[in-house]
Chain A
Amino acid sequence: MSKPPLVEVEDLTVRFKGARDVYAVNGVSFTLDEGEVLTILGESGSGKSVTLKTLLRLLPENRTDIGGKVRVGGEDVLAMQGRKLADHRGGTVSMIFQDPMLALDPVYTIGEQIAEAVIRHEKVSSKAAMARALEMLERVRIPSAARRLKAYPHEMSGGMRQRAMIALALACKPKLLLADEPTTALDATVQIQILLLLRELQQEFGMSVIFVTHDIGVAVEVSDRIAVMYAGAFVETGTTREIIREAKHPYTHGLLAANLVGAKPGQRLDAIPGAPPALETRPTSCAFAPRCKHAMDICRAKLPPIRRWHDRRWVSCVLAAEEHASA
């Protein structure tokens, strides 16, 4: 029997309660094997960050309703409490944030911040933890690492900070790395360096990665598989190759048309006319219909059917289902 997947997410829903409810994630399911890189690709507000944060349970507890199942390494993440949850965070799963300037504590040195995580998870002396921090800074190829250990975040450049953030995230050898648009805040040339570094470290550490981006060029660069997300749901999944060569969903086509011609990392998805829907209610029909040039009455009447080749290759669109039926 083959190994069970590292990550199993089943029908995940996330709703923010408030004066206005936000149905941020509406039935997301996927699995991820050890050593695999999955990219979640989608426009701003599609629920990518919320999906990632759920894997670490970082959403404000009292204002969110989370439904469905999330298992990492066989453990039920949604049921974790107290120390068990804290061991999961940073130990099994860790995260790189979009803007390292905001995600690092401004009044602690880089070394302190990395060492703190090591001490927390491995119960080593602070000297040993500092030594690990130094080792990690060297692994992410920060020049004069020993000196950077004592630097504060504001004393480093954006690229250096993101390297430090990666060092922090990998310091405890997590099984799963969550990368939330780790290059969006950086210059184009620095972006590529960071992407290369991430891919290299992923192979070296053999960890799984869920990578979030709205940049299809970046997605192609780093991932084995891609899931296209729209309005809180996946609309199409497949291998990177399948998504680029045989995309079925009109939204995916739109993303490709906007970006793949001369795809460069750093380009934004802006060529699809219209804006994503406000998620004040859970969609009951195809959420992309208002922007879809193939939209039919049936698209606006009910949720589109799913055409599934196999577990990891499917698309949720009337067109694909019809094509299948007529074939």
Chain B
Amino acid sequence: MLIYTARRILYTLPIMLGVALVCFALVHISPGDPLVSVLPPDASEELRLRMMQIYGFDRSYVEQFLIWLGRALQGDLGNSIATGRPVAAEVWGAVGNTLMLAVVATIIGFTLGCLFGFVAGYFRDTWIDKLASFISVIGVSVPHYWLGMVLVIIFSVQLNWLPATGAGPGGSSAWVWDWEHVRHLILPAVTMSVIPMGIVARTVRALVADILSQEFVSGLRAKGLLDRGVLAHVIKNAAPTALAVMGLQLGYLLGGSILIETVFSWPGTGFLLGQAIFQRDLPLLQGTILVLALFFVVLNLLVDVVQTALDPRVQRS
């Protein structure tokens, strides 16, 4: 298992390098002058050249890439063109917020999804199944930014129970575990959890129905197991796949939350990406995408390793 994990990690190294290369190339394939947002429109040619030198844009691409990579490895992603602050700091702050939102949403979605999926699969083709499946279909098909707005209208505007935007009181973006902050988390997390809930529910329903139709379930009953004993077997059989789906959903939520973060002004990576794009802040864009992509790679690695550890049928050699 250890060897497997080590090799799996080794395999991700070239992927990570590729990711870094693509992120770097982004700056150079995107049209327009990267300095346009920092320089005044009437800047002299001399000033432009000096800025080019400061940002290193005058060197060859290979040199630039190696320098950039070397710095990135040390945690230096350059400075934001718009704010002048270090990109790494901005991205890390945002990553923390996004991670928090995505993890909480995944936990909610996974728990509810497993519950609905399990019940639906266990009572397949009864009204309980139909109800649970209906809920999960809604979960997958409702546009979540729309759901977000509806929730805001109900719980913030009408009932005034929960705040509509931000990650904490007074727009602070430093997270603390207290009620004031958790209040801010509820609406975006619930909105976001709807998609993984639907997908997990569908997967788990199909899994459970499939497992229950297998002959070994007859075998379990034939040796006298009660319902809860059979249930334990069903769960252990379903777990590797269900967890893998959860891991991938977490990955999607980490990268795909621009809409929700924008609706709720949640200061995460999606929000940051939006800003970087609209302000043509290339170092920031580059850094954010790099970190997000690496996240995805690492998450895939984790999913693989966990699934292998849980499922004895997967070859470990």
Decide if B223 is an interface residue (CB 8 Å cutoff). Answer: yes
Q: How far is the CA of A104 from the CA of B215 in the complex (A)?
A: 8
B219 touches A103 (CB 8 A): yes
CA distance A33 to B215 in the complex (A): 29
Report yes or no: A106 in contact with B237, Cβ–Cβ below 8 A: yes
Instruction: Write out the residue numbers on chain A whose beta carbons fall within 8 Å of the beta carbon of B226.
Output: 83, 86, 120
Q: Is A261 interfacial (CB-CB < 8 Å)? A: no
Chain A 88-113 interface residues, beta-carbon cutoff 8 Å to B: 88-91, 94-95, 97, 99, 102-109
* Nearest-CB residue, chain B, relative to A89: B224
Taking the closest CB of chain A, its distance from the CB of B273, in whole angstroms, is 41
Instruction: Decide yes or no: A104 and B223 within 8 Å by CB, A116-B229, A152-B312, A152-B313 being known contacts.
Output: no
Q: CA separation between A99 and B311, bound complex, in Å?
A: 22
Cβ contact within 8 Å between A105 and B216: yes
Chain B residues with CB under 8 Å of A87's CB are 224
Would A103 and B216 count as touching, CB distance under 8 A? yes
CB contacts (< 8 Å) of A154 on chain B: these are 312-313
Q: Contact between A86 and B225 (Cβ–Cβ < 8 Å)?
A: yes
Q: Please, what's the 1-or-0 string for A213-229, where 1 marks a CB less than 8 Å from any CB in chain B?
A: 00000000000000000
Interface residue B233 (Cβ < 8 Å from any Cβ of A) = yes
Q: By the criterion CB–CB under 8 Å, are A103 and B229 in contact? A: no
Chain B residues with Cβ below 8 Å from A140 are none
- B48: Cβ under 8 A from any A Cβ: no
Q: Does residue B236 face the partner (Cβ distance < 8 Å to A)?
A: yes
Distance in angstroms between the alpha carbons of A56 and B220 in the assembled complex: 12
With the chains together, A164 CA to B240 CA distance in Å?
25
Q: Which residues of A are found within 8 Å of B312, using beta-carbon distances?
A: 106-107, 109, 152, 154
Q: Are the C-beta atoms of B216 and A86 separated by less than 8 Å?
A: no
Q: Which of B214, B218, B222 gathers most chain A CB within 10 Å?
A: B222
Q: Contact: A105 with B215, CB < 8 Å?
A: no
Choice from A90, A106, A109, A121 contacting B216 with Cβ under 8 Å: A106
With A97-B215, A102-B216, A120-B229 in contact, is A90–B313 under 8 Å at CB?
A: no
B269 to chain A, nearest CB (A): 37
A243 interfacial by beta-carbon distance below 8 Å: no
With beta carbons under 8 angstroms apart, the residue of A89, A109, A169 that contacts B221 is: A89
B243 to nearest A CB, angstroms?
A: 13
- Residues of A within 8 Å of B229, CB to CB, are 116, 120
A299 interface residue, CB < 8 Å from B?
no
For B222, list chain A residues within 8 Å (CB): 56, 58, 89-90, 94-95, 97
Rounded to whole Å, the gap between the CB of B142 and the closest CB of chain A is: 34
Whether the pair A103, B215 counts as a contact (CB closer than 8 A) is yes
Task: Judge if A72 is at the interface, Cβ distance under 8 Å.
Answer: no
Chain B residues 150-202 with CB under 8 Å of chain A are: none
Q: Is A117 an interface residue (CB 8 A)?
A: yes
What's the minimum C-beta distance from B101 to chain A, rounded to whole angstroms? Answer: 33
The answer to whether B224 touches A90 (Cβ under 8 A) is yes
> Smallest Cβ distance from B208 to chain A, in angstroms?
14
Give chain A interface residues in 116-132, CB to chain B under 8 Å.
116-117, 120-121
Q: Which of A94, A97, A107 makes the CB contact (< 8 A) with B236?
A: A107
Q: In the complex, what's the smallest C-beta–C-beta distance from A210 to chain B, in angstroms? A: 14
* Docked pose: A107 CA to B313 CA in angstroms: 7
Is there contact, CB below 8 Å, between A89 and B223? yes
Contacts of B218 in A (CB 8 A): 53, 58, 97, 103
Which residues, 201 to 258 on B, are CB-close (under 8 Å) to A?
A: 214-216, 218-226, 229, 233, 236-237
Most buried by B among A91, A94, A107: A107
The answer to whether A102 and B223 touch (CB under 8 A), given A116-B229, A152-B313, is no
Q: Is A160 an interface residue (CB 8 A)?
A: no
Does A317 have its Cβ within 8 Å of any Cβ on chain B? no
| Interchain CB contact under 8 A, B216 and A104 | yes
A108 in contact with B236 (CB, 8 Å): yes
Task: Give the residue name and chain of the A residue nearest to B217 (CB).
Answer: A105
Q: Which of B218, B220, B224, B312 is the most central at the interface, judged by chain A CB atoms within 10 Å of its CB?
A: B224
Query: Pick the contact of B223 from A106, A117, A152 — CB < 8 Å?
Result: A117
Q: Could you tell me the distance between the alpha carbons of A168 and B219 in the complex, rounded to whole angstroms? A: 10
Which chain A residues lie closer than 8 Å to B236 at the CB level?
105, 107-108
Select from chain A the residue with minimum beta-carbon distance to B222.
A95
Q: Is the CB of A94 within 8 A of B216?
A: no
Tell me whether A121 and B313 are in contact (CB under 8 A). Answer: no
Smallest beta-carbon distance A285→chain B, Å: 34
What residues on B are CB-neighbors of A152 within 8 Å? Answer: 312-313
In the complex, are the beta carbons of B233 and A105 less than 8 A apart?
yes
Give the docked Cα–Cα distance between A87 and B312 (Å). 30
Shortest Cβ distance from A87 into B: residue? B224
Closest residue on chain B to residue A169 by CB atoms: B223
User: Do the beta carbons of B223 and A94 come within 8 Å of each other?
Assistant: yes
State in angstroms the CA–CA spacing of A88 and B226 once bound together: 12
Given contacts A58-B222, A83-B226, A90-B224, contact A102 B237 (CB under 8 A): no
Q: Specify the chain B residue showing the minimal Cβ separation from A168.
A: B223
CB neighbours of A90 from chain B (8 A)? 222-225
B259 to chain A, nearest CB (A): 39
**Chain A residues whose C-beta falls within 8 Å of the C-beta of B224 in the assembled complex:** 86-91, 117, 120-121, 172
Contact string against B for A residues 29-65, beta-carbon threshold 8 Å, 1 for contact and 0 otherwise: 0000000000000000000000001001010000000
Task: Assess whether A120 is in contact with B214, with CB atoms less than 8 Å apart.
Answer: no
How many Å lie between the Cα of A116 and that of B220 in the bound state? 10
15 contacts between A and B (CB under 8 A): A53-B218, A58-B218, A90-B224, A95-B219, A97-B218, A97-B219, A102-B214, A102-B216, A103-B219, A105-B233, A106-B313, A107-B311, A116-B225, A117-B224, A120-B225
> Which 4 residue pairs spanning A and B have beta carbons closest together?
A90-B224, A90-B223, A103-B219, A117-B223
Known: A120-B225, A152-B312. 13 other contacts (CB 8 A): A58-B222, A87-B224, A89-B223, A94-B222, A97-B222, A104-B219, A106-B216, A107-B236, A107-B312, A107-B313, A108-B236, A116-B223, A154-B312
